[in-house]
A and B are shown apart, each in its own frame.
Chain A
């Protein structure tokens, strides 16, 4: 029984880390631009699908990872210039609807290019599962944990210790003040989408070996990322990570101990609960700290 619980915990942590990364990109874009990017899940999928194609050419996995991240980062920037930038000054609701449109278009594009097949990606490192306390830990999970750690460190380092990070932070806190110092908010929005694309792709390539990849998995990933971000209060980086891991563990335990059909329902129930009772997020204590 103990081993089974540990196994579920490992699965939950892996799932949770995936949700965390997606939530992190959502929160960062939201903090910086005020836009909730509902196409974030699509960035993840396109990243993974690109990796499938690149890997088919015989490229080593590390190169596949880098190229895919760069390509989707460019895609993110391109889409920002073509849509968000054109609509600058529009209401946040319009922006939200634009990102829904982007999400549907990208999914359609993925369907045209990669079809409805289910693809798989090879793991980053060779070798079988590591046995810890009687439960199996997939080495790919460790890569995913590492990705979360690197992303978090990178975000904290960037926002806390670099001049450009502080400029971005300043524009989050006070747009008028930032513009008067010469900070161009359009450039910052552009960079946010570039980062969202790159990070999304990194998540996609990392989870591919575990989850399999289909053109339409982005929607559900986006929703899970959103639930994780909402648990953390939508503008809190730390909260998004905790929210993601919490969600992953809950899903894993409820599907393992009760019924696997509950997996997706659980996140919807949490989302409804959070939005109805704690719209400012469950993690209240660290709520004040944006980015």
Chain B
């Protein structure tokens, strides 16, 4: 579904991603793990169009999307839930969700309220808060709102950048279980996480990144079994 070939990305003079290639299969949940500064967020940001790659190719559903702008990428069916959530904190929860469907508003206006109801079914904690200011929500609810807003564009590929950051374990578990539910509906998911344990529980396959490249990849069972990876990259000595 998504293929990346020899990707290179610079932030100024610093090379954030070097010669990275990967493939994401339709319907899978891929976890991307690695330390701070390994280039995980840059990888997602580049696919979403926030950063321009200096080398390489990004192919989505057989079509090259390399170097497209974010507003174009989202129309192809890729949605990024960014690390800082980037919700519209002064707007209401409902407005945030509506704006998630910005690019299909004109065509799908009559069904949007149904779609919002579906999102609220998925995140029952947001129910009854529709007219609250998004900024007044707790961190966990804001994260759910950010994911819900990302889903409103009806993406085929949903990318999440550290959804567990700063959240209580219980909330993290809830969010992870929602990701599993989403996967069952056919959405392909890339999950960038530092919370290795939670991510490994839900992932089908795993990539470990270091200094802008991939050091390990495989299905999650193998990665969990590989104690050297556990110790060296995932910081969980047994």
Q: Which residues of A contact B (CB under 8 A)?
A: 163, 166-167, 169-170, 173-174, 176-184, 290
Query: B80 contacts which of A163, A173, A180, A184 (Cβ < 8 Å)?
Result: A180
B208 lies within 8 A of chain A by Cβ = no
Smallest CB gap from A170: residue in B: B88
Pair A173/B89 contact, Cβ less than 8 Å: yes
Q: Do A182 and B86 have beta carbons less than 8 Å apart?
A: no
> Is there an interface contact between B82 and A177, defined as CB atoms closer than 8 Å?
yes
* A174, A177, A183 pick with most chain B CB within 10 angstroms: A177
Q: Which 6 A-B pairs have the closest CB atoms?
A: A177-B86, A182-B103, A179-B70, A182-B74, A170-B88, A181-B102
A184 to B73, CA, bound (A): 12
Determine the distance from Cα of A290 to Cα of B88 in the docked complex, in whole angstroms. Answer: 13
- Are A183 and B88 touching (Cβ within 8 A)? no
Tell me if B87 is interfacial: C-beta within 8 Å of chain A.
yes
A182 contacts across to B, CB distance below 8 A: 70-71, 74-75, 102-103, 153
Q: Are A179 and B91 in contact (CB under 8 A)?
A: no
Which chain B residue shows the least CB distance to A288? Answer: B90
Interface residues on B, range: 20 to 34
Contact call B105/A163, Cβ cutoff below 8 A:
yes
The residue of chain A having its C-beta at the shortest distance from the C-beta of B150 within the complex is A180
Cβ contacts under 8 Å, B105 to chain A? 163
Query: With an 8 A cutoff between CB atoms, is B99 at the interface?
Result: yes
Complex-state Cα separation, A202 to B84, whole angstroms? 42
Specify which chain B residues have a CB less than 8 angstroms from the CB of A181 in the assembled complex. Answer: 74, 99-100, 102-103, 149, 153
Q: Is B229 an interface residue, CB under 8 A from the partner?
A: no
Interchain CB contact under 8 A, A167 and B82: no
Name the residue on A nearest B95 (C-beta). Answer: A166
A176-B82 in contact given A170-B91, A181-B149 (Cβ < 8 Å): yes
Indicate which residue in B49, B82, B85, B102 contacts A183 across the interface (CB closer than 8 Å): B102
Name B79-112 residues within 8 Å CB distance of A. 79-80, 82, 84-91, 95, 98-100, 102-103, 105
Query: How many angstroms between the C-alpha atoms of A19 and B135 in the bound complex?
Result: 34
Besides the contacts A174-B88, A177-B88, what 5 more A-B pairs have beta carbons closer than 8 Å? A173-B89, A179-B70, A180-B74, A180-B82, A182-B103
- Residues in chain A near residue B102, CB distance under 8 A: 167, 181-183
B135 to chain A, nearest CB (A): 9
Assess whether A163 is in contact with B98, with CB atoms less than 8 Å apart. yes
Question: Quick check: A174 and B87 within 8 Å, CB to CB?
Answer: yes
**B residues within 8 A CB of A290?**
90
Cβ of A167: which chain B residues have Cβ within 8 Å of it? Answer: 99, 102
In the complex with contacts A177-B86, A180-B82, A182-B75, A170-B69 CB distance below 8 A: no
Q: Are A183 and B50 in contact (CB under 8 A)?
A: no
Determine if B48 is an interface residue (Cβ-Cβ < 8 Å): yes
CA distance A169 to B102 in the complex (A): 13
Asked if residues B153 and A176 are in contact (CB atoms below 8 Å), the reply is no
B54 CB → nearest A CB, Å: 17
When distances are taken between beta carbons in the complex, the residues of chain A under 8 Å from B71 are 179, 182-184
- B residues 48-88 in Cβ contact with A at 8 Å: 48-50, 69-71, 74-75, 79-80, 82, 84-88
Report B193-230 residues with CB < 8 Å from chain A CB. none
Q: Is the CB of B48 within 8 A of A183?
A: no
A176 to B149, CA, bound (A): 14
The reply to whether B86 and A166 contact each other, CB–CB distance below 8 Å, is: no
Cβ 8 A contact of A173, one of B69, B70, B91, B150: B91
Residue of B nearest to A166 (CB): B95
Tell me whether A169 and B70 are in contact in the complex, defined as CB-CB below 8 angstroms, given that A182-B103, A182-B153 are known contacts.
no
From B82, B86, B87, name the one whose CB has the most chain A CB atoms within 10 angstroms: B86
Q: How far is the CA of A290 from the CA of B91 in the complex (A)?
A: 12
Provide the bound-state CA to CA distance between A229 and B70, in Å: 33
Shortest B159–chain A CB gap in Å is: 10
Q: Please give the distance in Å from A89's CB to the nearest CB on chain B.
A: 12
**Measured between alpha carbons, how far is A250 from B70 in the docked complex, in Å?**
48
- Report the minimal beta-carbon distance from B85 to chain A, rounded to whole angstroms: 8
Residue in B74, B87, B91 whose CB lies within 8 Å of A166: B91
A170 neighbours in B (Cβ, 8 Å): 88, 91, 95, 99
* Closest residue on chain A to residue B92 by CB atoms: A166
Q: Which residues of B contact A174 (CB under 8 A)?
A: 86-89
Query: Counting chain B CB atoms within 10 Å of each CB, which of A163, A177, A181, A183 scores highest?
Result: A181
Chosen A-B contacts, 5 in total, with CB atoms closer than 8 Å, are: A169-B90, A176-B50, A180-B70, A184-B69, A184-B71
